[in-house]
Structure 1
Amino acid sequence: MQAGVAEPTAPVGSVPYLQALVDALVDLSSRDPLTGLANRRSFELALAREIDRVARSGEPALLLVLDIDHFKRVNDTWGHGAGDGVIRAVAGVLNECVRPMDLVARTGGEEYAIVLPNCAPAFGEAVAERIRRRVEALPIQVAPGERISATVSIGGAFAPQWVRSSAHLWLERADQQLYRAKGRGRNLVCLEPTAVSLVSSEERRMLFETSQFLDFE
């Protein structure tokens, strides 16, 4: 068995053994091997499900996107092994700061995303700030006797409620806030308030097409 996959305890060849094996392989295919977080594919599926749910239920949902500031300096100074250690350390902080219902994913090299269903604006701001502060305060060992600190920039956007949107547009809005945080000096949180989540022309078109479809049901 590959590292990270638990060996089934049932007798080899039995139905419980085969089912446990399938379950383990499915879990492995949905996880990032370095951090154990959800991988990019799992994140995209969760994002599509959540934006569809928000359109139907009207409940608030927040998408956070973040990356490690000046990460290239870590690799250049300490090597890629140290960089992997920083990535794992930040992933651990993210897992500690969210609820069991939230999905935390590693979406790229030093990039992460968090989907927070049923998330009120005040709660989302508190979670994002808690992540930022805990990462900043975390000493990360990169070599024997050598510890460094890291910071993250965080952007976030709320899914438009009662509006048929797309995962791509939601992610684009969150990315815009991440760029704001970086442009203002990094180690910052920038969230798009729900009050200014304007409906785009593409979302209006999707809503119109959906309404036309429902008229013929």
Structure 2
Amino acid sequence: MPMPENKKHPEPLSSERPNVTETALEQELISELSRLRDEICALSHVPCERMDPRTNLGVFRLFNGISLQQWRSVAQRLEARGWLSLPMDRDVYPHLTILQESLEELTYQTEHDPLTGIANRRAFDRVLDLELERAQRAESTISLAVLDLDDFKQINDRHGHAAGDAVLVHLARILANNKRRYDLAARIGGEEFALLLPGIGQVKSARVVDRIRENLAAHPFQSKDGDSFRVTCSAGVASFRGTTEISPTDFYSLADKALYQAKSLGKNRTDLAPMPDVERAARPSLVRASEKRFLFTGKP
């Protein structure tokens, strides 16, 4: 990588230099990695966190006198998760194990909400698409509940953002405790959550959601000043029998509209969306009935 003329290349680390402690070697490594990162980001004219992830470049650097334990310590402090370490003269297995752990951690982070620990919107969209396709193929039932905390802005304004975060974490915990292993609980927005329930119809899914709302409303929270307060949420539930076609966007929209209705009718309630299978199946029969009436009576 080209360096500006007024900057010198960092000197390589060497175990042959006398009187250099392990801490000094780690500090020199951190300094070089930091300068390298800053140079790369400066060349791109964008902040490091906004660089295009579709472009990839592997940069290899030999560091003498650095052990695996030292490297892990440095990488954790610098958050250098994108760096791959491999030994030149010994067993590579420990390094490949670390690489696998790093990849698993990155995969987890890309599909989980960092605050609550449950799935994020990206994972929700992917699973919703798969489960809806499976329901249509097998003509099986699937339900989707969308939940939204009532007056959440007021909670943050009155009791502080730490209390608001505690509410979000607690609702996520309730969702996780009330779902089956193959259900999906996700945080899909700021104070909006979703629960995907394969194999459950409208009545049972509404019972699950009502139980979640009751558990939330019964839990006392503490504000930054020590005051106790309680929180409620509203929910919309959409169910589908798999006997017709519907897109993930339309299915989510049904649940979202039911949620909006619950909000407009007073909050702290669960409203049900119309069944898309029943709606679409009813329309052709109504058309045929009107045609028959016109043929036999001459009246529309």
TM-score of the two chains, using structure 2 as the length reference: 0.60
Q: 1:79 aligns with which of 148, 154, 160?
A: 160
Percentage identity across paired residues of the two chains: 36
Which structure has the higher relative contact order (CA within 8 Å, separation 6+)? 1
What is the aligned partner in structure 2 of residue 39 from structure 1?
Answer: 120
What is the Cα deviation at residue 193 of structure 1? 5.3
SS at match of 1:114: strand
- Maintained 8 Å contact 2:217/2:231: yes
Larger radius of gyration: 2
Letter in 1 for 2:239: F
The 5 Å alignment of 1:185-200 reads 185-192=266-273, 194=275, 197-199=278-280
Letter in 1 for 2:231: A
Report the CA distance shift for 1:13/1:40 in structure 2 as closer, same or farther (over 3 A). Answer: same
What is the Cα deviation at residue 65 of structure 1? 0.2
- Maintained 8 Å contact 2:163/2:221: no
Q: 1:133 aligns with which of 186, 195, 214?
A: 214
Distance in 2 between residues matched to 1:78 and 1:146, nearest whole Å: 8
- Maintained 8 Å contact 1:158/1:197: no
Q: 1:95 aligns with which of 176, 182, 185?
A: 176
What is the aligned partner in structure 2 of residue 110 from structure 1?
Answer: 191
What is the aligned partner in structure 2 of residue 19 from structure 1?
Answer: 100
Letter in 2 for 1:161: G
Q: Is residue 156 from structure 1 mapped to residue 229 from structure 2 by the alignment?
A: no
- Maintained 8 Å contact 1:60/1:119: yes
CA root-mean-square deviation: 2.3
Matched residue count: 194
What is the Cα deviation at residue 192 of structure 1? 2.6
Distance in 2 between residues matched to 1:26 and 1:120, nearest whole Å: 32
**Range 104-113 or range 160-169, more displaced:** 160-169
- Maintained 8 Å contact 2:201/2:240: no
What is the Cα deviation at residue 142 of structure 1? 2.4
SS at match of 2:156: helix
Report the CA distance shift for 1:114/1:197 in structure 2 as closer, same or farther (over 3 A). Answer: farther
SS at match of 1:198: helix
- Maintained 8 Å contact 2:159/2:225: no
What is the Cα deviation at residue 58 of structure 1? 1.0
**Range 32-41 or range 137-146, more displaced:** 137-146
**Range 47-56 or range 140-149, more displaced:** 140-149
The Cα offsets for residues 177-206 of structure 1, whole Å up to 9 and x where unpaired, read as 101111110000112354874239xxxxxx
- Maintained 8 Å contact 1:160/1:199: no
- Maintained 8 Å contact 1:89/1:140: no
Structure 2 gaps, min length 5:
1-75, 82-91, 282-300
Distance in 2 between residues matched to 1:104 and 1:57, nearest whole Å: 23
What is the Cα deviation at residue 12 of structure 1? 7.5
What is the aligned partner in structure 2 of residue 8 from structure 1?
Answer: none
Distance in 2 between residues matched to 1:147 and 1:47, nearest whole Å: 37
